[in-house]
Amino acid sequence: MPTFTAITKLTSSEAAYSLSEAMENMTPEPTGVGVFEMEDGSNLWEVGGYFTESPDDIELMLLAQAFGATPFLVSELPEIDWVAKVRRDLSPVEAGRFFVYGSHDAEKLPEGRVGLLIEASMAFGTGHHGTTLGCLRALDRLDLAGFRGRNVVDIGCGTAVLAMAAAKIWPEPVLASDIDAIAVEVAQVNMAANGLTERVRCLEATGFDHPELQAAAPFDLVFANILMGPLIDLAPEMGRATGSGGYAILSGLLVEQAEQVLAAYVDAGFVLHHREDIGEWATLTLRR
């Protein structure tokens, strides 16, 4: 069965999400619609829809005009077994003592390493991206320096690989949250695959806006591997949610965005503890 994509760009998140809702009512109906903030520093938002039939060009043109979007770019994807491709392309990742792998590579888990199983069909946040890799390295670095997280939360958790990593090395339960209900479902599947269902609790929430998160604060370690804009917006709230002497590990930001994010967190009461740049991505470890 062929798959078609229709992708456009907008200048505001509000317009992007409104357009995505309107696309849900198209004929033919899309099999999925996604909204993403572009990670190139352009402050643009991308909206993309997937279709099993070629979408209507006129309807796309009218939607783009109605929401102030660029003209849609429509493409037909080649018929590929994407899970098989991901399995071929995503080799295990080593980040300090952590070893992130798919079930097809389970026999490669070295003795004495902390294994994190992320299925290939759920391959966002697997450790291959410089942001996740940087966060895992930062966690490993803190642990080797003698820090022990007793109240940890992963904000914008995606696959929850960071929350699971903390739960694997420390005995206390870990909280995780994501704004996307599908991400929460993916995280729960990954936790079950890693035997961590009773150790990591994942909630659907925007930032810290959830009664359980507010009741659990202050945290001694907060992960936030998201994007520059949401990180800056979250800074004051994270300052209140992180206990004195606690740490925040931030990523999802380009190297050239790091100083701007750091400035927002300095204003919120943090100091820079460590910074690592991996390719074009930066990871900040901050202390409250």
Q: Is 11 within 8 Å of 45 (Cβ atoms)?
A: yes
Looking at residue 121, what is its pLDDT?
Answer: 47
- The count of other CB atoms within 10 Å of the CB of residue 148 is 12
Closest CA to 21 of 67, 86, 65, 82: 67
Query: What does the alpha-carbon distance between residue 169 and residue 145 come to, in Å, rounded to a whole number?
Result: 14
Pairing of strands 45-51, 3-10: antiparallel
Query: What does the alpha-carbon distance between residue 161 and residue 249 come to, in Å, rounded to a whole number?
Result: 14
pTM of the entire structure?
A: 0.70
Record the tokens describing residue 75, joined without a space.
Answer: 């493409």
Looking at residue 81, what is its pLDDT?
Answer: 57
Record the tokens describing residue 139, joined without a space.
Answer: 């966690």
Looking at residue 227, what is its pLDDT?
Answer: 84
Looking at residue 127, what is its pLDDT?
Answer: 47
Looking at residue 280, what is its pLDDT?
Answer: 85
Looking at residue 79, what is its pLDDT?
Answer: 67
User: Which parts of the chain register pLDDT below 70?
Assistant: 39-41, 79-91, 103-107, 119-129
Record the tokens describing residue 172, joined without a space.
Answer: 């206390």
| Diameter of the chain measured on Cα atoms | 61
